[in-house]
Amino acid sequence: MQARWILVLRACCCMGLQECRLGECVCPHLPVVYVTAHMCRKRVFLLGPSHHWGLPGAATTACSEYGTPLGNLTVDTELVDTIRKQWNLKTMSRQQDEDEHSLEMHLPYIYKMLLLCACLLLYLLVILTFCSHNPSFKSDSSSVPLVPILVGSTNASIESDLGSKLAPYLADPSNLFVISSDFCHWGSRFRYTYYQLPDGSAKELRSSSQVQKSYPIHESIKAVDFESMDAVESGEHRQFLEQLQETGNTVCGRHPIGVFMAAVEQANGLQGEGKFKFLRYERSSDVVSVRDSSVSYASAFAVL
């Protein structure tokens, strides 16, 4: 089986550019996207959480292009208009679109990966020029348009409904999917000080709370995050929702992840069995005091 879509669960606010070569990622701290000759995609779907807008469902863009420091990405305005009407999506205002970093921060990664793929395919085309010719080929990233979808504070029913609408596009191997999310946001400034001991007992820490020196707070954060990651790897949308409800883990992209998982479940009947795999996990700092805070990051991909 080949990876038909990539699930990127990496910082909504991560900085820098991903340096990749064929088949591997040079910088291990950034999301992994495997570059192969098979990644000649028709379009890229980008799903991210809403941080500034109290959005009850989902929305898309009114823009025809998204700018990056490397160049512009073209929006698939025809498909965006279609799903806006068919899915009853809202439309982001220009200000809402510009304010939302969960979508924005992945654009340079997407642009660079598409550019690398275009260069690779152009190189192959030159080699094969005496055997075949593709007059529609474009050697720039604008030939693969973007479909941005902002997902708000949804529930299980809404995620399942959006997933069913997304599923037919998952069944098309020419579509690529990128999902934006951080994992645990821990600390009083995030209103989340959950501390789970190895025996499974848990409590919310306060400024006066005592923490076992043998089991620092960052170990609890890691354990809870790994439970969330295991729930995603299970491929069961319901299991992921139940784990979040039990621990309250502050996965900011839990709703777009939920939509994607629901879509995979419903697309499986069309094509095959969905598989999720996590590749890397990091935290911005190792929390040892209740006064500390951290944000967790993870990278994963899904195969259909």
Which class in CATH covers the domain with range 20-186+251-283+295-303? alpha beta
Class of residue 30 by CB neighbours under 10 A (exposed 0-12, middle 13-18, buried 19+)? buried
pLDDT digits over 219-257, tens only?
A: 999 999 999 999 999 989 999 999 999 999 999 999 999
Q: What is the mean pLDDT of residues 117-122?
A: 55
pLDDT score recorded for residue 3: 43
- Look at residue 287 and give its three-state secondary structure: coil
pLDDT score recorded for residue 274: 62
pLDDT digits over 181-192, tens only?
A: 999 999 999 999
pLDDT digits over 140-181, tens only?
A: 555 789 999 999 999 999 999 999 999 999 888 888 899 999
Q: What is the mean pLDDT of residues 77-85?
A: 97
Please state whether beta strands 175-179 and 43-49 pair in parallel, antiparallel, or not at all (unpaired): parallel
Domain boundaries, the chain: 20-186+251-283+295-303
The pLDDT confidence band at residue 101, using thresholds 50, 70 and 90, is confident
User: φ and ψ at 91, to 5 degrees?
Assistant: -120, 125
Q: What is the mean pLDDT of residues 100-128?
A: 71
Task: Give the 3-state secondary structure percentages of the chain, helix then strand then coil, rounded to 5.
Answer: 35, 20, 45
The pLDDT confidence band at residue 216, using thresholds 50, 70 and 90, is very high
